[in-house]
């Protein structure tokens, strides 16, 4: 670039590259490596002249070996690749293009989270694809050395005795609980949140009221309740508490285990279990058998568990209590749905009878998961079930006869309320208090006694046992 006076102007990043190139040309490789290391500490530049348009990597997160989740930083990828070139005394400029391709491939996976090991595999492949076989070999050997160092330097800390408690299982057996799964839940729940407490303080808060010989179910409830109480400390804890509950939902529905499986495997478990969920739902007559005729494999690929991270605690708790399909055929009731299974089931139920419905299902699912649109409660309850009643409200009119009052005003209302529809009725035609009854030659008690019966009917039916009738 040139200023108005014609004098050249270099950016800080360009100046670094010129110095590095000059050092390499003069065989000062150790100094060049020190320069690259300095850049990595102070942050590399944001762009590279002459490269292709940058890829939006803002939605992807990197999972470190420690389990910590951090934003994607392409500059650090570039610096690591430059070090590999300089270790062989080669010009490191190709690292820019290789780094860009690594970022493109990471974004193209469509995953919200990607493990550091997977990123390093992509780096190796890109180095070989561009013909830098010696650099790739050096990079592979470097990874192997680092792996050996990590395994050698692992601290084998003994678990403090006072941090271990005895927990009772449902069958009466017991086991020692050391809180490892709790630490993993905290790591998952803290993704992308700026919390006012550090992980140790959070763990201490979640362990409150946990005592020896507590049952598994009570341990779960205690941890969730303690997470909920943290919401008063900071608004971000609303999402934190939601994610703690999410980990338990994933374990209940998917068989994913927070202590044994990684965060990025959540997507894999969703894809693997979705078809089994549909078959089980149809088998126990909780889902419409026509759902199985859709292109399940195509729909599986659209399920995005990372959208669950946007829920707050009240949203997840409401879904868990009311909306997720439950299998009650076993000894212990079990949820069959995660939040994303739920959204997909509703979208499938709405468009299942259309021609070539998959594209419309995916479009509606994307609206649901991004929370740009939400259907009414009856649709959420019933879509995709054997009784797909999607209407929110019913209007009716009662005539001035005992038959109309009892059939239309009471019995039919109960049938409609059963499937979660709200009721709006006109009782204007019913005669008032003291009016003459020709059939019995008596006097009417008016409309109020009948309205009490109608109200009690709505309360008794309770909209399918899921929420209060109205």
Range with the largest mean pLDDT of 235-249, 379-393, 399-413: 235-249
Range with the largest mean pLDDT of 42-46, 170-174, 285-289: 285-289
Examine the pLDDT at 45 and tell me if it is beyond 50. Answer: no
Q: How far apart are CA 355 and CA 332, in angstroms?
A: 39
For residue 134, the Cα-to-chain-centroid distance in whole angstroms is 41
According to the model, what pLDDT value does residue 34 have? 60
Question: Mind listing the pLDDT tens digit for each residue in 199-258?
Answer: 999 999 999 989 888 999 999 999 999 999 999 998 999 999 999 999 999 999 999 999
Distances (CA, A) of 258 to 5, 188, 402: 62, 9, 61
Global pTM value? 0.68
Examine the pLDDT at 191 and tell me if it is beyond 60. Answer: yes
According to the model, what pLDDT value does residue 438 have? 81
Domain spanning 393-465: CATH 3.40.50.410: no
The closest alpha carbon to 349, from 340, 339, 361, 366, belongs to: 361
Percent of the chain with pLDDT over 90: 43
- Averaged pLDDT score across all residues of the chain: 84
Distances (CA, A) of 319 to 3, 41, 312, 316, 341: 60, 45, 11, 5, 12
Give all strands (DSSP E) within 301-457, no chain letters. 326-327, 334-335, 393-397, 422-426, 433-437, 442-445
Contact 270, 305 (CB under 8 A): yes
The closest alpha carbon to 378, from 415, 420, 417, 339, belongs to: 420
Domain spans in the chain, listed from the N-terminal domain onward: 12-152, 168-382, 393-465
According to the model, what pLDDT value does residue 77 have? 85
- The more confident residue out of 163 and 77 is 77
According to the model, what pLDDT value does residue 12 have? 63
Q: How far apart are CA 77 and CA 124, in angstroms?
A: 12
CA dihedral 179, 183, 188, 191 (to 10 degrees): 160
The closest alpha carbon to 91, from 23, 155, 163, belongs to: 23
Question: Mind listing the pLDDT tens digit for each residue in 130-163?
Answer: 889 888 888 888 888 888 887 776 554 444 445 6
Question: Mind listing the pLDDT tens digit for each residue in 291-328?
Answer: 999 999 999 999 999 999 999 999 999 999 999 999 99
């Amino acid at each position: 670039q040139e200023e108005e006076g014609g004098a050249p102007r270099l950016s800080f990043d360009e100046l670094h590259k010129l110095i590095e190139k000059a050092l390499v040309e003069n065989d000062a490789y150790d100094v060049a490596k020190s320069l690259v290391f300095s850049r990595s500490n102070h942050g590399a530049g944001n762009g590279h002249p002459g490269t292709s348009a940058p890829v939006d990597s803002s939605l992807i997160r990197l999972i470190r070996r420690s389990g910590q989740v951090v934003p994607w930083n392409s500059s650090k990828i570039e610096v690591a690749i430059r070090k590999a070139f300089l270790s062989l005394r080669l010009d490191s400029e190709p690292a820019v293009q290789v780094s860009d391709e690594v970022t493109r491939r990471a974004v193209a996976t469509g995953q919200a989270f990607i493990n550091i090991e997977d990123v390093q595999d992509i780096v190796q492949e890109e180095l070989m694809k561009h013909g830098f076989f010696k650099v790739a070999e050096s990079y592979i050997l470097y990874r192997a050395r680092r792996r050996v160092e990590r395994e050698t330097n692992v601290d084998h800390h003994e678990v403090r005795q006072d941090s271990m408690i005895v927990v009772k299982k449902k069958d009466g057996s017991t086991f020692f609980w050391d809180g490892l799964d709790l630490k993993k839940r905290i790591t998952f729940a803290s993704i992308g949140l700026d919390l006012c407490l550090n992980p140790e303080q959070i763990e201490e808060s979640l362990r409150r009221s946990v005592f020896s010989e507590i049952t598994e179910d009570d341990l779960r409830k205690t941890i969730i309740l303690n997470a909920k109480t943290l919401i008063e400390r900071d608004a971000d804890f609303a999402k934190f508490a939601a994610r703690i509950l999410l980990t338990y939902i994933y374990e209940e529905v998917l068989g994913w285990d927070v202590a044994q499986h990684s965060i990025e495997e959540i997507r894999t478990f969703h894809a693997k279990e979705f078809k089994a969920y549909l078959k089980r739902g149809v088998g126990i007559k909780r889902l419409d058998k026509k759902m199985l005729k859709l292109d399940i494999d195509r729909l599986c690929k659209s399920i995005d568990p990372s959208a669950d991270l946007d829920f707050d605690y009240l949203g997840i708790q409401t879904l868990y209590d009311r909306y997720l399909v439950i299998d009650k055929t076993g000894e212990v009731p079990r949820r069959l749905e995660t939040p994303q299974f739920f959204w997909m089931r509703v979208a499938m139920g709405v468009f299942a009878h259309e021609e070539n419905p998959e594209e419309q299902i995916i479009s509606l699912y994307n609206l649901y998961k991004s929370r740009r649109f939400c259907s009414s409660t009856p649709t959420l309850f019933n879509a995709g079930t054997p009784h797909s009643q999607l209407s929110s409200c019913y209007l009716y009119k009662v005539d001035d006869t005992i038959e109309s009052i009892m059939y239309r005003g009471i019995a039919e209302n109960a049938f409609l309320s059963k499937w979660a529809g709200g009721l709006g009725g006109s009782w204007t035609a019913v005669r008032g208090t003291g009016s003459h009854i020709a059939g019995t030659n008596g006097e009417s008690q008016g409309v109020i006694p009948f309205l009490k019966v109608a109200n009690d009917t709505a309360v008794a039916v309770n909209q399918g046992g899921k929420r209060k009738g109205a």
